[in-house]
Amino acid sequence: MATGGVLSGIRVADFTRVLAGPYATMMLADFGADVVKIESPGGDETRSWRPPVDRDGNATYFAAINRNKRSVVCDLGVEDGLRTARRLARTADVVVENFRPGVMQRYGLGFEQLAAENPRLVYCSITGFGAGAGAELPGYDLVVQALGGLMSITGEADGPPLKVGVALVDVLTGLNAFSGILLALRRRDQGGGAQRLEVDLLSSLLAGLVNAGSAALTTGRSPSRNGNIHPSIAPYETFEAADRTIAVAVGNDQQFAALARVVGLPELGADARFADNGLRVQHRAELHDLLQDRFGRETGEDWQERLAAAGVPAGVVNSVAEAFELATRLGLGMVVGEEGGPRQAADPIRLSGSPATYRMPPPPLGAAVSPQWLDVREGDAR
């Protein structure tokens, strides 16, 4: 299917479901790859994860991560379905799968089996905990957030561990898969042969812990829950304005002096307790009380405007709908789709010469695929 995108001509056989894999393959599809979603007769589980639904009754969860694809039903337990799946995989540039380790091999769809017929194949496997000792562990985002330490540092200091508001580990893993596939395709373009790429949710989370992970590895002590404060920077937290919550992120002494002037406490800039960031962290509670008293006197929008004018990073806590409205006002173009119809978040990667395109809505289960996929001549493996 010619699309004109930077990945035009790249065929992707997508054996994934739920979130991490479909997110990665949607990113490939946004930039022109021809992606066929290979589904069981029951379809991707997220088709039934409702409410909410769009105006046509389709689950918005499924719609969020499956645009620009087509769907074919392949019952791998039936010979005809398995034959079709193998034909799709043998002629693809990229195969992406997130079955438990060993399942694809059992169906003759493993990396070694396909690479023997398709020597330029990029094969991406996505698991929860790798293909070794963790192969049988269930790869659900909530479980990985728990086992991977993210919940232990999320929430108020005196409250219970909390998950992040979206399946963030799945998203991180999907992005890693997308990046890895592009790296493998680049290596193929340089003359490399078939290559297997493996990403897993736990590794993606641990890498994504960045400074929290580094602190644990370096000191041997795990960070604790701190609510909205930053353990190494102050003030870097939320305050309650007269009408709503506002986040303030002061990263240096100049910004702190500007903050002190805006809130009407210029003397704080010269206060020995708050002379530098280390001291502000040490006296965080005292500083918070002084600032909270001032923030509570005016609205969040008013503080946001005044702090922005002074060069102090700050923003009110928006709802999701308000966040999309902000992006629209800023001209970021983060909403695609017609008003009143299916609307989605746009692809966040902006290329000047070969931008993402939005060619097809999320596919109905079993929507037809193009002849170039299924009418494959014997020996046409690419």
Q: What is the pTM of this model?
A: 0.90
Using the structure block, give the residue that is written with the tokens 């969040």: 300
Q: Is 230 exposed, middle or buried (0-12, 13-18, 19+ CB in 10 A)?
A: middle
In 3D space, the residue among 15, 91, 112 whose CA is nearest the CA of residue 24 turns out to be: 15
- Give catalytic status of residue 141 as yes or no: no
Whole-number pLDDT of residue 204 = 97
33-83 per-position pLDDT tens digit = 999 999 999 999 999 998 998 887 889 999 999 999 999 999 999 999 999
CATH of 236-322, one of 3.40.50.620, 3.40.50.720, 3.30.70.1090, 3.30.1540.10: 3.30.1540.10
Q: What is the mean pLDDT of residues 231-253?
A: 96
Mean of the per-residue pLDDT values for the chain? 92
Q: Give the separation between CA 376 and CA 41, rounded to whole angstroms.
A: 23
Q: Which long-range contacts (CB under 8 A, 24 or more apart) does 190-194 make?
A: 193/115, 193/119, 193/120, 194/111, 194/115, 194/118, 194/119, 194/120, 194/121, 194/122, 194/123
Alpha carbon dihedral 81, 84, 90, 93, in 10-degree steps, equals: -100
Q: What is the mean pLDDT of residues 123-147?
A: 93
Query: What class, spelled out in words, does domain 11-208+349-374 have in CATH?
Result: alpha beta
130 phi-psi bin (left φ>0, alpha ψ -120 to 50, beta other): left
Residue type, 106: R
Say if residue 197's pLDDT is above 50: yes
Angle between helices 253-262 and 300-309 (to 10 degrees): 130
Omega prior to 223 cis, within 30 of 0: no
Give Rg (Cα) of the chain. 25
Domain extents in the chain: 11-208+349-374, 236-322
Whole-number pLDDT of residue 377 = 35
Q: Which of 170, 271, 293, 302 is catalytic?
A: 170
The two beta strands, 335-336 and 344-345, are antiparallel
Sequence-separated (6 or more) residues with CB below 8 Å from residue 88 = 13, 36, 38, 72, 74, 373, 374
Sequence-separated (6 or more) residues with CB below 8 Å from residue 35 = 12, 14, 25, 26, 28, 29, 68, 69, 70
